[in-house]
Structure 1
Amino acid sequence: MSAVLDAILSRRSYPVVTADAPGRDELVPLIQAAARASDHGALRPWRIIEVRGAARAALGDALVAASGLEGPAAAKLAGKPLRAPLLLALVARHRPSHKVAAWEQDAAAVGVAHFLSLLLEDAGWGVMWRTGGHTRAEPVRQVHGLADGEELLGWLYVGGIPENVKPAVRQPVDAGDHLSALPD
């Protein structure tokens, strides 16, 4: 089995992580490698925002503002970004192009995010891609400082892998149910 196939088949989401997180020096080469994802037109229609420390609480406040919740439900929502020491906000940056549609630019950004999640796991970090109903709400856009033409795709929650927590296991997929051929 190839190393790439093995990495993909062993990929798991870690909903619980420890307080350890990679530093910027460790992230930069991983992001450089992830940038090798398919990118029609070489537009690099993406960016990644590190969310650490108190910025996670600010994101929690933005999620609450977007939700309109109060009381215990608001407190629970505000705490969600605190589940990991590092969140990597995944941003699609739509570039003007007559050849590359916005959806294709989103696909390129998603490719970078998936490569990055595999690379982080390979480096020994627990990762989970999280989204939610407020991902594209205005208060959340504002806390990330998104510009016109940018859309938040979600966050990679990154931290250490706990010794006593098993990663979520995905059910196998019958590829035959998802593969078809165009008739001759």
Structure 2
Amino acid sequence: MGRVRDAVLARRSRPKVTDAAPSDAELALLLDAASRVADHAALAPWRVIALRGDARARLGDALVAASGLEGAAADKLAAKPLRAPLLLAIVAAPRPHPKVPEWEQEACAAGVAHLLELLLDDAGWGVMWRTGPYTRHAEVARSHGLGDHERLMGWLYVGGRIEAERPPRRATEPAAARLIVLD
């Protein structure tokens, strides 16, 4: 039918990746394409923060601080951001606007995240969108340097693909069952 549809149907979340990661220049090109998402009033109410190296460990520390966990459970939580060499924090940064409510601006940020996930997958990278119970915790927001008006939407975990490990397509009910037509 079309290249975009084929890319969407081929996309799979990749929970395990190698240590390879796209360069900042490659990310900029992909983000430029993802920024074409529907955006009422062209507010661009989002930003993306790339976490590499020690920034991932600092995120792990923030997750532990937010959780209050100790011992082995804290160590396990602290290690989660180390699962991929690159984490892309998706941030909703809504702006006051008389015609564009905050929920719509958050939807725009989520759209950027999804398009970026598709573009990374299409470019040959392993990617998985992750969230969790501490995504909107103040300690995690501080670790990203978020402003009071900004909200973390989650992270795209990005790395090299492990080709031998192609996750199967998840079983879902046919999408047509979710289509309701009103005349």
Say yes or no: TM over 0.5: yes
Shift of 1:163: 3.1
Deviations 1:64-101 (A, max 9, x none): 00000000000000000000000000000011100000
Distance of 2:176 and 2:122 partners within structure 1: 28
Shift of 1:167: 2.2
CA contact (8 A) 1:31 1:116 kept: yes
Shift of 1:174: 1.2
Partner of 1:127, secondary structure, is: strand
Partner of 1:5, secondary structure, is: helix
Partner of 1:16, secondary structure, is: coil
Aligned residues: 183
Shift of 1:28: 0.4
Partner of 2:29: 29
In structure 2, the gaps of 5 or more residues are: none
Deviations 1:44-67 (A, max 9, x none): 000000000000000000000000
Partner of 2:141: 141
Deviations 1:103-152 (A, max 9, x none): 00011111111110111011110000000000011110000000021000
Partner of 2:68: 68
Aligned partner letter, 1:55? A
TM-score, structure 1 length as denominator? 0.97
Matched-pair identity in %: 62
Aligned partner letter, 1:103? W
CA contact (8 A) 1:13 1:168 kept: no
Q: How does 1:152-167 map to 2 (within 5 A)?
A: 152-167=152-167
In structure 1, the gaps of 5 or more residues are: none
Distance of 1:175 and 1:122 partners within structure 2: 22
Shift of 1:172: 4.1
Distance of 2:163 and 2:21 partners within structure 1: 15
Shift of 1:170: 1.6
Aligned partner letter, 1:169? R
CA contact (8 A) 1:15 1:168 kept: no
Distance of 2:173 and 2:4 partners within structure 1: 18
Shift of 1:171: 1.5
Q: How does 1:74-89 map to 2 (within 5 A)?
A: 74-89=74-89
Partner of 2:48, secondary structure, is: strand
Distance of 1:86 and 1:115 partners within structure 2: 17
Partner of 1:105: 105
Partner of 1:49: 49
Distance of 1:36 and 1:137 partners within structure 2: 29
Partner of 1:18: 18
Distance of 1:12 and 1:118 partners within structure 2: 9
Shift of 1:164: 2.8
CA contact (8 A) 1:14 1:168 kept: no
Shift of 1:168: 4.5
